[in-house]
Amino acid sequence: MATAYLSLGSNLGDRLGYLAEAIRRLGAPHTRVTQVSSIYETAPWGKTDQPSFLNMAAAVETDLTPDELLRHILSVEQVLGRVRTVRWGPRTVDIDMLLYGDERRATPDLQLPHPRMANRAFVLVPLLEIAPHLPYREALDALDPAGIDLFMGAEVFQNRTNGVQ
Ligand code: GSY
């Protein structure tokens, strides 16, 4: 059983609904979502003329290998309507595997740790909220925190994901 950390983002349509559905769907097979962060509204990075994102992080416990977990993530993105057209363009949901245990690799489909995570405050703010022990605090302190606003606390989001009103 391994612990993996994921970053999720959405900037099209029912952004919160897409994140909630992604968390529900990530929870199987052979995978359990053990922690979710708060939801943050964040200014778009890369291609800036697009709607703002909702971003969050999640921890999962999984029996899947990194490649199997990647396939699971891609299938959840696909079911939720992600279409990869414009690079860095708008998306219903984007799920990145940031870390998988202590795994280090650089294959074309999957690089671990995620090669750009240390440069993105919209990734590190939610990640360090759920995993303050990870060695990315200095990286976050070096980034501009502007444009990262708390949108919804983790507990409220979890109640929504579990269908509790
Ligand atoms: O890399 C993930 C997709 N993405 C995002 C994102 O999730 N949040 C923000 N704020 N900007 C982004 N630009 C891209 S591409």
Asked whether residue 16 is assigned to any structural domain, the reply reads yes
Whether 89 shows a pLDDT value over 80: the answer reads no
Whether 83 shows a pLDDT value over 80: the answer reads no
Asked whether residue 105 is assigned to any structural domain, the reply reads yes
Whether 86 shows a pLDDT value over 70: the answer reads no
Q: Residues enclosing ligand 1, CB less than 6 A?
A: 9, 42-46, 53, 55, 88, 94, 122
Whether 162 shows a pLDDT value over 80: the answer reads no
CA of 157 to the centre of ligand 1 (A): 20
Asked whether residue 127 is assigned to any structural domain, the reply reads yes
Return the pLDDT at 28: 86
Contact 78, 94 (CB under 8 A): no
Is 96 labeled as catalytic in the residue annotation? yes
* Number of structural domains the chain divides into: 1
Asked whether residue 32 is assigned to any structural domain, the reply reads yes
pLDDT tens column, 30-67:
999 999 999 999 999 988 999 999 999 999 999 999 99
**Non-local CB neighbours of 108 within 8 Å, separated by 6+ positions:** none
Return the pLDDT at 161: 80
Asked whether residue 30 is assigned to any structural domain, the reply reads yes
Mean pLDDT of all residues in 64-78? 96
pLDDT tens column, 105-129:
999 999 999 999 999 999 999 999 9
Q: How far apart are CA 135 and CA 132, in angstroms?
A: 8
Mean pLDDT score of the chain:
93
Of the candidates 82, 109, 116, 141, the residue annotated as catalytic is 82
CA of 36 to the centre of ligand 1 (A): 18
C-alpha separations of 75 from 82, 94, 137 in Å: 10, 11, 31
Asked whether residue 91 is assigned to any structural domain, the reply reads yes
Tell me which residue of 144, 137, 139, 131 sits closest to 42, measured CA to CA: 144
Asked whether residue 165 is assigned to any structural domain, the reply reads no
pTM for the model: 0.94
Asked whether residue 64 is assigned to any structural domain, the reply reads yes
Domain that holds residue 152: 2-160
Of the candidates 15, 25, 91, 120, the residue annotated as catalytic is 91
Of the candidates 49, 96, 116, 141, the residue annotated as catalytic is 96
**Non-local CB neighbours of 91 within 8 Å, separated by 6+ positions:** 9, 10, 11, 12, 82, 83
We report the CATH number of the domain holding residue 46 as 3.30.70.560
CA of 88 to the centre of ligand 1 (A): 7
